[in-house]
Structure 1
């Protein structure tokens, strides 16, 4: 998958043709997932919990104001490798509350509500507020979603990419980097339009897909993309029908059920995380090609397996990379 460098010179120069955004007026108050978050001044020592929020901050040019990152699924985008090397990696997985607050952060954004919420794996909003630390959850993981149902929450409405643009815009305002935020959003939106036009031109009236993230054990039902999350949005934009219709974000679905639906394309996630055996993409491929049920699926027999970085299946700047890679994997479906 080709890595795109965000905020290219061309995009940056394009800012000169438009009025520059007004600077942030602090204190800034943001309505975030039903909570008011007050940012008293431009934050220093930002600690980002989640790869997507971290890479958004890097794309906005904020690495110098960051004191730590955590919760990584794949290597950082090459465009941000130098920035990432200067910022401490607190944990590849879920950090402790103490390890975050010890950095004395002025802002703690996260990609997942289950990291900072009523039952926060890192801590609750109240715990952070008691220490005067503004905590922020990306709108992509709370708007139109009930995070109290299912392991990863349940969608009440289909994922709306406008929540990603809102999140980028809000983080840009928090960091007083509005111009960079506008340029980043414009670049991503232009790429989305281009890849959707390419996919629609393929004219595939009944192409279908399924997305396998991981499995607690290869002998158990796999965690598949539900009918209203980010991967479902990607499939819908490209004209693919998701064979999994559950409203849960990543429901466990039996292979027999998936095989009966026989998707035209099978998407599997690649990640560095090794929480489960099936986190290993090679383990996924071996299973698909040897299991008596999965090896008979059309997508497996015809090698219509698309490998996407796990982070491209989460709401963030890599979503468009994933959209482009999935569209490329659709080539030849009409044959």
Structure 2
């Protein structure tokens, strides 16, 4: 059934109406990031390694299937807090292999291949599959990407938004809730269209930006968004150029190089994780306004600094909220001619 508030928005934005979804036919077999997964029935026990998959499942009303979560950058969205509070958090960052299998999962949903992959810090897919535990890896982190090059992998092709819709559709099929998946994807597409419309009248041809995720230490080069990843998609969708040209997902770039590029906007990550000092966005702001190199950048002097949740910089449903925040902030600035 179409969500009441969604129908007029879809019509207004020219998005297609939702077709009735056929139920999943089990056994279900699907290809996922180089592995063939087979499900005899919908999984009743799921462990998530990564906030993106966790919140996708919550958004489709599947929190009762989740028995353990891990790898959180931000607190859960308030609308899911009640459900999330009932579920064990195995780790704020990466869980141990033993902690995951100890929950007897029938599916492990993984956001990032460096967690569960050829050199996974939690384990390899083979280790899980030998125990008859299927692992579903988000296509956004495996398709056209080499996760063995660079700290967070290197994009072989630019990130495609369809990979998020694909994750939602496939998870919906696995759990036989295709109609919910269709509704969620329609909401996200409507949100994307709204963000694009927000900046449509703005002349952004000469604008540029830098995304700063974090830094291992505030006195060394920061982790910033490469030019083929999710933040680059967000910028290019709005018509803004990313000043970073590396194919790596999150390369380190020196502040002198960044200052020379002099981006129009600085976008910094706010997170509740505290692995590095610069995870704290207030410390990022203090650094930008006090460092002799960064404080003279146009974006800092003119306070063109936009704060986004870290999960809004990931391939997640939160990215669409981040895109709306980014579009609204950019549309509100008086930009240099």
Q: 1:248 to 1:95 in 2, by over 3 A?
A: same
- State how far apart, in whole Å, the 1-side matches of 2:173 and 2:119 are: 28
Which is worse superposed, 168-177 or 288-297?
168-177
In structure 1, the residue matched to 2:274 is: 274
In structure 1, the residue matched to 2:13 is: none
In structure 1, the residue matched to 2:323 is: 323
- State how far apart, in whole Å, the 2-side matches of 1:136 and 1:85 are: 24
In structure 1, the residue matched to 2:333 is: 332
Gaps of 5+ in 2: 11-16
Does 1:10 pair with 2:5? yes
In structure 2, the residue matched to 1:217 is: 217
CA-to-aligned-CA distance 1:70-113 (integer Å, 9 cap, x gap)? 10010101111111112111111100001010111011011101
- State how far apart, in whole Å, the 2-side matches of 1:129 and 1:12 are: 41
- Aligned-pair CA distance for 1:191: 1.1
- State how far apart, in whole Å, the 1-side matches of 2:251 and 2:241 are: 17
- State how far apart, in whole Å, the 2-side matches of 1:124 and 1:214 are: 27
CA-to-aligned-CA distance 1:157-213 (integer Å, 9 cap, x gap)? 010001111111001111111000000000100110121122132122211000000
| Contact 2:114 2:147 (8 Å CA) reproduced | yes
SS in 1 for 2:160: coil
Does 1:145 pair with 2:145? yes
- State how far apart, in whole Å, the 1-side matches of 2:287 and 2:19 are: 54
SS in 1 for 2:79: helix
SS in 2 for 1:86: coil
In structure 2, the residue matched to 1:72 is: 72
In structure 1, the residue matched to 2:284 is: 284
| Contact 2:18 2:183 (8 Å CA) reproduced | no
CA-to-aligned-CA distance 1:111-149 (integer Å, 9 cap, x gap)? 101111011111111110111001010000011111110
Q: Map 1:198-217 onto structure 2 (within 5 A).
A: 198-217=198-217
Does 1:293 pair with 2:288? no
In structure 1, the residue matched to 2:120 is: 120
- State how far apart, in whole Å, the 2-side matches of 1:303 and 1:179 are: 44
- Aligned-pair CA distance for 1:10: 3.1
Q: TM-score, normalised by structure 1?
A: 0.95
Does 1:254 pair with 2:249? no
Gaps of 5+ in 1: 1-6
In structure 2, the residue matched to 1:167 is: 167
Q: TM-score, normalised by structure 2?
A: 0.94
| Contact 1:95 1:122 (8 Å CA) reproduced | yes
SS in 1 for 2:267: strand
- Aligned-pair CA distance for 1:333: 3.8
- State how far apart, in whole Å, the 2-side matches of 1:58 and 1:199 are: 30
- State how far apart, in whole Å, the 2-side matches of 1:18 and 1:196 are: 22
- State how far apart, in whole Å, the 1-side matches of 2:191 and 2:141 are: 23
Matched positions, count: 328
